[in-house]
């Protein structure tokens, strides 16, 4: 009887710790997902920077797009979303 009571008490005491463990695992999963997203953004920015530094055509494309630049005699058509 004592052994059964001890097992039940142990099980009851471990329930809050199991819930906390589950919550911590979920938090860890969210943190890892965020880390992966940030790493992907970092890699993309690194590729963009490398292209801007080493690829004059890409640099021109980015400058023309962001600064609305165009060459003399060119007609630029923009389609904007509403």
Q: What is the pTM of this model?
A: 0.59
DSSP for 46-77, written as a single string: HHHHHHHHH-HHHHHHHHHHHHT---TT----
- Compute the mean pLDDT over every residue in the chain, rounded to the nearest whole number: 87
| 42: Cα within 13 Å, side-chain hemisphere | 6
pLDDT in tens, 58-80: 988 888 888 888 888 888 787 88
| 47: Cα within 13 Å, side-chain hemisphere | 6
SS3 at position 47: helix
């Amino acid at each position: 009887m004592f052994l059964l009571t001890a097992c039940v008490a142990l099980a009851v005491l471990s329930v809050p710790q199991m819930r906390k463990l589950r919550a911590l695992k979920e938090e860890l999963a969210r943190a890892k997902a965020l880390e992966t997203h940030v790493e992907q953004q970092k890699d993309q920015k690194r590729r963009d920077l490398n292209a801007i530094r080493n690829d004059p055509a890409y640099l021109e494309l980015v400058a023309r797009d962001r600064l609305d630049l165009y060459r003399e005699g060119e007609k630029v058509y923009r389609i904007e979303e509403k």
